[in-house]
Amino acid sequence: MRPLRLTVIGIGYLGLTHAACMADLGHQVLAIDTDRDRVARVAAGEMPFFEPGLEPLLRKGLETGRLRFTTSYQEVAAFGEVHFLCVGTPQRPDGAADLRYVTGAIDSLAPHLRSACLIAGKSTVPAGTARTLLASIRAAAPAGDAVDLAWNPEFLREGHAVADTLRPDRFVFGVTTPAAEAVLRQVYAAPLADGIPALSMGLETAELVKVSANAFLAVKISFINAVADACEAAGADVTQLTAALAYDERIGRRGMAPGLGFGGGCLPKDIRAFRATAAALGVESIARLLGDVDEINTARRAHVVNMARKAAGGTLSGKKITALGVAFKPNSDDVRDSPSLDVIGQLAAEGALVTAHDPVALDNASRLRPDLRSAKSVLEAAQDADLVLHLTEWGEYRSLDPAALAAVVTHPVIIDARCALDTRAWQSAGWTVHTVGRSA
Ligand SMILES: NC(=O)c1ccc[n+]([C@@H]2O[C@H](COP(=O)([O-])OP(=O)(O)OC[C@H]3O[C@@H](n4cnc5c(N)ncnc54)[C@H](O)[C@@H]3O)[C@@H](O)[C@H]2O)c1
């Protein structure tokens, strides 16, 4: 494999992971971000977020000199044979994707592109974005038509980002030329040689593969949560039901986790953006489906607050509540659109005195909610609690000692909003357990 000179534009969760992993594959990588403070910290080996296994790769990249950081687009343009676009595509107030960072990055890069290169978009964008960008890049770049564009969407999951980048289920290459596909095959030569499949297709299809994958996962989660509601009403148990469904290979086990629903920086905004794209294209069917999925998902949060109010005797005002978890999912410090944090906010709005615990996400949560009260240990958070809420299914919460916790609370009552605790073990230690998707 010939090592390539790659650049990575935007060093958030996606970009920093991609940059460190590409350096690990042997490429020379230069990464840029408009956040100068972040660039300085990362260049000194400091991780800007929690991601298992990424810090050693960052340090290795810096030590070998294969991974460098800059704030100069001129330097980036002169260095890169391939430029990976990894900037954020957040949600606009109307639900559509905000593409200002994508166009901003291209506006900064294109005027400096003086020789042939490939720009490979990895950010999640609406169908049609890449083709529009290609025209504007070629118009602005001195190298003109010698600049090519591909869309190479990213499927990594926070908490598993390194493995997902180095050994994804598949690579998706949205291309308009065989040359662009050949360059991407060179970039990923090592994992491709290990048998990871690569699928080439048009730009619009590649853009849609990514949003369809996220939409399908969201449908699965909202489906099982709608069934959880039916279980509660019918006196059934959604955990047992899910286990039985899983034996049907057409349904499977993965992604069928009933509970508090999905959140984070991707799934919610991606389904809303897909919905907006579908509506703009006049495709009512997927827009309607995703609207329902979003509504079911958001309602999970109010549902858990209702369970808490009921368990607390009809009012939350003045009740001491322990919230286990603030991250949007375990193994991550990301609190963007976190269902747990949303529930905590709703409890506090009704006058509850909430103390939160999380293994790694409390700093980020406090930045979003400066009034958040927190404790460094679960036992400290649970001191004198009237009610405990299990909101983010960290492994360490599953291995808590219910008896030790029962000794410090005022009332041993817990709501398992993630259907993840060993109910019998908690009941044996004297707890009243309320689980989402279970009537008793
Ligand atoms: N986080 C994930 O798990 C994940 C997974 C797959 C796809 N994605 C997609 O990847 C994209 C990035 O997501 P993220 O979570 O890494 O976002 P992020 O907000 O963590 O990072 C984006 C970074 O881009 C930088 N940036 C913005 N404008 C810039 C510019 N003009 N030049 C250089 N840097 C600039 C920001 O300063 C920030 O550091 C989004 O489209 C997202 O949907 C994310």
In the reported structure, the alpha carbon of residue 425 is separated from the centroid of ligand 1 by a whole-number distance in angstroms of 42
Q: How far is the CA of 20 from the centre of ligand 1 (A)?
A: 15
Residue 117 annotated as catalytic: no
pLDDT computed for residue 1 by the predictor: 76
Beta bridge partners of 389: 323, 415
Q: Please, where are the H alpha helices in 167-246?
A: 178-187, 189-193, 203-234, 238-245
pLDDT by residue (tens digit) across 304-363?
A: 999 999 999 999 999 999 999 999 999 999 999 999 999 999 999 999 999 999 999 999
**pLDDT beyond 80 at 440:** no
Ligand 1: residue whose CA is nearest its atom 33: 33
CA 354 to ligand 1 centroid distance, Å: 32
What the block records as the tokens of 378 is: 């679960």
CA of 90 to the centre of ligand 1 (A): 9
Burial label, 6 (beta-carbon count in 10 A; 0-12, 13-18, 19+)? buried
Centre of ligand 1 to C-alpha 101, Å, is 9
- In tens, the pLDDT along 103-162 reads 999 999 999 999 999 999 999 999 999 999 999 999 999 999 999 999 999 999 999 999
pLDDT of amino acid 292:
98
Q: Is the dihedral of CA 31, 36, 40, 45 positive or negative?
A: negative
Choosing from 266, 328, 367 the residue with most ligand 1 atoms within 8 A of its CB, the one to mutate for a pocket test is 266
Q: Which residues contact ligand 1 via a Cβ below 6 A?
A: 9-15, 32-35, 38, 86-89, 101, 104-105, 108, 123-124, 154, 156, 158, 265-266
Ligand 1 atom index nearest CA of 101: 28
Please report the atom of ligand 1 found closest to the CA of residue 14.
Answer: 16
- Tell me how far apart the alpha carbons of residues 352 and 321 are, in angstroms, rounded to a whole number: 7
Best mutation site among 33, 155, 271, 367 for ligand 1 pocket (most ligand atoms within 8 Å of CB): 33
Give residue 302's identity as a one-letter amino acid code.
Answer: A
Residue carrying the six token digits 């709608």:
226
Query: In percent, how much of the chain has pLDDT > 70?
Result: 100
CB atoms within 10 A of CB 397: 22
d(C-alpha 328, C-alpha 194), whole Å? 33
* Of 367, 317, 315, residue with least CA distance to 341: 367
Q: What is this structure's pTM?
A: 0.95
**DSSP letter string, 262-299:** --SSSHHHHHHHHHHHHHHHT-HHHHHHHHHHHHHHHH
Is the per-residue pLDDT at 33 higher than 80? yes
| Residue nearest to ligand 1 atom 39, measured at CA | 12
Q: How confident is the model over 159-178, as pLDDT tens digits?
A: 999 999 999 999 999 999 99
pLDDT of 439: 79
